[in-house]
Amino acid sequence: MAQVLIANRLSDGLVVFLAADGAWVESIAAGVLIDDDRAAGELLDQGLADADNNLVIDPILINVTVRDGTRTPDAIREAIRAAGPTVSVET
Amino acid sequence: MYRYDEFDQQLVNERAEQFRRQVRRRMNGELTEDQFKPLRLMNGLYLQLHAYMLRVNVPYGCLSARQLRQLAHIARKYDKGYGHFTTRQNIQYNWIRLEDAADILTDLAAVGMNAMQSSGNCVRNVTADHYAGRARDELQDPRVWCELLRQYSILNPEFSYLPRKFKIAVTGAPKDRAAVALHDIGLRMYLNEGGEPGFEVIVGGGQGRTPVIGKTIREWIEPEHVISYVEAILRIYNLYGRRDNIYKARIKILVNALGIDKYRELVEAEWLQIRDGVLKIAPEELARIDAYFQPPAYEQLADQDTEPSQLHDADPAFAAWLQSNVAEHKVVGYAIVNVSLKSPGKIPGDLSAQKMDALADLADQYSFGELRVSHRQNLVLVDVKQSDLHALWQALGALDLATPNIGLASDIIACPGLDFCALANTRSIPVAQDIALHFANSTKLQHVGDLTINISGCMNACGHHHVGNIGILGVDKRGQEFFQLTLGGSSDEHASLGDRVGPGLPQSEVPGAIERIVDTYLEIRDGKDECFLNTYRRCGMEVFRTAVYGPAGPARRVTATRQVA
Amino acid sequence: MSTLIKDNKLTEDPFTRIGVDDAIPAQGAVLVPLATWQDHREKLLRRGEPVGVWLKSDEHPEIIAGDVNHLQLIALEFPTFRDGRGYSYARLVRERYGFEGELRAVGDVLLEQLHYMGRVGFNAFEVDSEDALAELEIAARDFSVWYQPSADGRASSAQLRTELKRHG
Ligand code: SF4
């Protein structure tokens, strides 16, 4: 099962994903994609450490499906978090 | 309107600085998220799905043009150029950075506004009739009491860690536009036989996952005692409200557990100890605050002939707007104008910074610079000359703010739902948009008349679905969004909770189901004067259930769906 | 490491905390649980040493309302900082039962709450902090105006306004 680590950044609250170099990035495509339990555990530990270091809030692993190279979280909630609101806002 | 004096000003300035320090402590790790969360919540700052959300208090819904311009400024400078008006008469910004939050509080303080206690387990922003001080049917202007309650509850040292949040609403009119029976405390002003004003005190109402219509704890209390009585209610709640389960911590659960008579006994005993103490409202303080709510300099005018029927032929669109969006003012020659934030297809309650500015200008030009926010997520210009109505209608129309639908089926309340809210089960905005667009090109809504549709994206009921004539509750079924309908809810002086129609529907089927409900109503109503709610109360659920699920009921439908799948 | 602040000063705690099952020592100030106070009231008074009673958040101080003149200390426990019963208790202890001794907040007491606690009548705090005094000073400066009259006796903004008008 493919997974990514998602969180909100402490400083601005934006949705971020943990990338391979340990940075938190705003695009799900740039985050690490893992598919085994050991890697998942390590990724989560890294995220929790960053939560303790006051970089992010509530890091969690979420399941994603990759189709044609596009990663979409399986749960609607996480899909909306990753892609933004489904309604267009007034500007 | 109330204006901050040096004391109020100093307090909000100090609060902004305190929060700046708390944010700094959070950023450098002196506070954990667990410790910081209640602090940021008491400053109105939530973490939502995509960013922080800041909820700014609009005290009892009253807003000046100057304040609205500042709200526009904040939307532009710190957010994505818009804001969202809520069912608690407040405004929310969806895209706030923690690093900016204290600066925003400072900007708010500059125009006498704040975000204090707009969240957290404390007394929230007091809400009121959005026509307060202006409605023709009003007995007493409740705003001075709202302001006294606001001051009493802000940073109250005893009641800042209540078992759960606490909401107070006040009305001074027989027609209840403030949903007082659905608040932790509802205050209904009326005149006794001697013509003296006083309050009926209602306690333990609320929505959420356990909706309850409040019960009268006291038929009558003199105004000078209202704060001490509220303190007695709060103290008993603070001492005995449950703290072991957040879903059972609201005052309504305590009142139900003890029974209203026992609760009353405890409150009365407590109140006897404090009623003649420092909280008794001093006449000079009352007079000081009351002075802020003196009416503006109205001209001596006569009522215009604005009977919609007479205007109808000449200008049907204007007539429709007058019919639904304009309400009677207590001063002859003036009118109350509702500004619809419910143009079909838009997000209910959203307003861009540019339109906020434009509306502030219109308020200055036509309404003594004063506006209101309604709990149905619209804005109100409270002091418009009837002779200006046509010009104002055109100006609002140019801003797409003159949809003639106030109180009609497309004036939908919708909470932010899963597009923004971290607690949501389902989206609610797209459902509102679908329904409003479904009816956008038909004149049916005008025929249907008064009909409230309220949508919540989860059991927390921020979209007031329990008290919508038609309520819609989003539920999650195995990862899919479904919507349960309820009928017969109402938040007015005859408040009632809606009854569930049946199993949830997928989003695509909701507008059709609503249309069938509406058509059924049009068929069976007892003449044009029987509104949807009364027809429902007379005829009951069955006929509407059949309209939604067909004569065989929901069971067959479910089987059929299974076969298809 | 918890630190005791009393009347804005770092203080060495003179009270020995006694558990429910502990024997009462022959000498020295003691802080006892409610049950011990109820069971050994006379004995504790006869010792002629300062006595404090420790109340948990579900123990209403009304139980000891008649005894406050015999006590030098009342400690109100906050099992979590979210449990706000202690704020109401504190006001009752000060304003209704007339207790004038040390009113101490113990348990999960956060710096951010000291301000409110001071206002409802606490004058001593047990806090977990290395730099408690400096923090207390910051917290004490948070606000200089208040809307509500409370147990600390400081004037509310409404009272100040009235004053201002009389003199101005
Ligand atoms: S009702 Fe639920 S989904 Fe809607 S705003 Fe409230 S908590 Fe969020």
Domain edges within chain B? 6-109, 142-292, 309-398, 413-564
What's the whole-number average pLDDT of chain B?
A: 94
Which residues on adjacent β-strands are paired with residue B155? none
3-state percent helix, strand, coil for chain A, nearest multiple of 5: 30, 35, 35
In this structure, the strands spanning B82-85 and B91-96 are antiparallel
Task: Give the C-alpha separation, B529 to C18, whole Å.
Answer: 74
Return the minimum-mean-pLDDT range out of B5-9, B308-312, C99-103, C107-111: B308-312
Q: Is B309-398 in CATH node 3.30.450.20?
A: no
Distance (Å, rounded) from C-alpha B556 to C-alpha C7? 73
Which residues in chain B are contacts of A11 at CB distance < 8 A?
Answer: 27, 97-99
Q: Ligand 1 centre and the CA of B360: distance in Å? A: 29
Whether residue B26 and residue A54 make contact (CB cut-off 8 A), yes or no, is yes
With a cut of 60, say whether residue B308 has pLDDT above it: no
**What pLDDT, on the 0 to 100 scale, is given for residue C78?**
97
- Our CA angle for A45, A48, A52, nearest 5°, is 135
Backbone phi and psi for residue B382, each to the nearest 5 degrees, phi listed first: -90, -15
d(CA B410, CA B413): 9
Measuring CA to CA, which residue among B163, B160, B211, B221 is closest to residue B188? Answer: B221
Where are the alpha helices (H) located in B367-405, listed in sequence order? Answer: 389-398
**What does the pLDDT look like over A1-50, one tens digit per residue?**
899 999 999 999 999 999 999 999 999 999 999 999 889 999 999 999 99
Is C143 within 8 Å of B18 when comparing Cβ atoms? Answer: yes
Measure CB to CB from residue A12 to each of B28, B51, B346 and give the nearest one.
B51
d(CA B169, CA B187): 6
The CA B420 to ligand 1 mean position distance, Å, reads: 9
Q: How far apart are the first and last CA of chain C?
A: 50
Q: Read off the DSSP letter of residue C25.
A: P
- Is C148 an 8 Å CB contact of chain B? yes
Rounded CA-CA distance A42/A68 in Å is 27
Q: Which residue of A has its CA nearest to B81?
A: A91
What CATH number belongs to B6-109?
3.90.480.20
pTM of the model: 0.94
Backbone angles phi, psi at B309, to 5 degrees: -60, -35
pLDDT band at A54 (very low <50, low <70, confident <90, very high): very high
Q: What tokens does B391 get?
A: 């010009």
Residue C122 domain-assigned (yes or no): yes
Which chains share 3+ C-beta pairs under 8 angstroms with B?
Answer: A, C
Gap from B158 CA to chain C (nearest CA, Å):
5
Tokens 């939530």 belong to B46
Reply yes or no on whether the pLDDT at B548 is more than 60. yes
Check pocket membership of B475 for ligand 1, CB cut-off 6 A.
no
Bridge partner residues of B93 (DSSP): B54
Q: Are C158 and B22 in contact (CB < 8 Å)? A: no
Residue C141 CA to chain centroid, in angstroms? 20
Q: What is the pLDDT of residues B494-534, one digit of tens each?
A: 999 999 999 999 999 999 999 999 999 999 999 999 999 99
Contact at CB, A84 and B50, closer than 8 angstroms: yes
Neighboring chain C residues of B161 at a CB cutoff of 8 Å: 81-84, 87, 113
Does an interface of 3+ CB pairs under 8 Å exist between A and B? yes
Residues B99, A12: C-beta atoms closer than 8 Å = yes
Query: Residue C113 has what pLDDT?
Result: 87
Distance CA B187, CA B203 (A): 9
Test A87 with B347 for CB contact under 8 angstroms: yes
Torsion angle of C-alpha atoms C87, C88, C94, C98, degrees rounded to 10: -160
pLDDT score at B305 = 66
How is residue B509 annotated by DSSP? G
> Is beta strand C9-11 parallel, antiparallel or unpaired with respect to C2-6?
antiparallel
Does some domain include residue C147? no
B430 residue type, one letter: P
* Cβ-based contacts of B418 with chain A (< 8 Å): 76-77, 80
* Cβ B341 vs Cβ B377: under 8 Å: yes
Q: Which tokens hold the place of B18?
A: 């305190």
Q: Is A75 in the B-facing interface, judged by CB distances under 8 Å?
A: yes
Q: Domain range holding C116?
A: 3-142
Which residue(s) pair with B171 in the sheet? B188
The CA distance from A90 to the nearest CA of chain B, in Å, is 6
pLDDT tens column, B326-367: 999 999 999 999 999 999 999 999 999 999 999 999 999 999
Helices and strands (H, E) in chain C, number of each type? 6, 8
Q: How far apart are CA B180 and CA B127, in angstroms?
A: 9
Is-contact B251 B237, C-beta < 8 A?
Answer: yes
For the cut 50, the answer to whether the pLDDT of residue B236 exceeds it is yes
Confidence of residue B309 (pLDDT cuts 50, 70, 90): low
Report pLDDT for C112: 80
**Is C154 part of a structural domain of the chain?**
no
The model's pLDDT over B123-169, given as tens digits with 9 standing for 90+, comes to: 999 999 999 999 999 999 999 999 999 999 999 999 999 999 999 99
Q: Is B415 in the pocket of ligand 1 (CB under 6 A)?
A: yes
B456 lines ligand 1 (CB under 6 A): yes
Lowest mean pLDDT among A37-41, B233-237, B460-464, C84-88: A37-41
Superfamily of domain B142-292: Sulfite Reductase Hemoprotein, domain 1 (3.30.413.10)
For residue B423 and ligand 1, the question of a CB distance below 6 A is answered with yes
Give the one of A8, A10, A90 whose C-beta lies nearest to B346's C-beta: A90
Whether B430 sits inside 8 A of A86 (CB atoms) is yes
Give residue B408's identity as a one-letter amino acid code: L
A-C interface (Cβ pairs under 8 Å ≥ 3): no
pLDDT exceeds cutoff 80 at A52 = yes
Measured between CA atoms, how close is C139 to chain B, in angstroms? 9
- Looking at the structure of chain C, the number of domains it has is 1
* Residue C165 included in any domain: no
Q: Ligand 1 test: best mutation among B207, B428, B460, B465, most atoms within 8 Å of CB?
A: B460
- How far apart are the two ends of chain B, measured CA to CA in Å? 60
How far is it, in rounded angstroms, from Cα B401 to Cα B352? 11
Question: Comparing C-alpha atoms, which of B160, B167, B227, B155 is closest to residue B10?
Answer: B155
- In the reported structure, the alpha carbon of residue B475 is separated from the centroid of ligand 1 by a whole-number distance in angstroms of 11
Q: What is the DSSP code (8-state) at residue C154?
A: P
- The complex's ipTM works out to 0.95
> Which residue has the CA at smallest separation from atom 2 of ligand 1?
B458
Can you tell me which atom of ligand 1 is nearest the CA of B463? 1
B6-109 and B142-292 agree in CATH topology: no
List the subunits that have 3+ CB pairs under 8 angstroms with C: B
| pLDDT(B556) > 80 | no
Provide DSSP, B547-562.
HHH-TT-HHHHHHHHH
SS3 of C126, please? Answer: strand
Mean pLDDT confidence for C124-134: 81
Residue B222 to chain A, least CA–CA distance (Å): 46
3-state secondary structure of B200: strand
Q: Do C96 and B10 touch (CB under 8 A)?
A: no
Q: Is B417 in the pocket of ligand 1 (CB under 6 A)?
A: yes
Q: What angle do CA B515, B518, B522 make, to 5 degrees?
A: 135
Question: Rounded to the nearest whole angstrom, what is the distance from the C-alpha of residue B423 to the centroid of ligand 1?
Answer: 6
Give CATH for domain B413-564: 3.30.413.10
Nearest-Cα residue of chain C relative to residue B42:
C112
Query: A14 CB near a chain B CB, below 8 Å?
Result: yes
pLDDT in the model for residue B564: 38
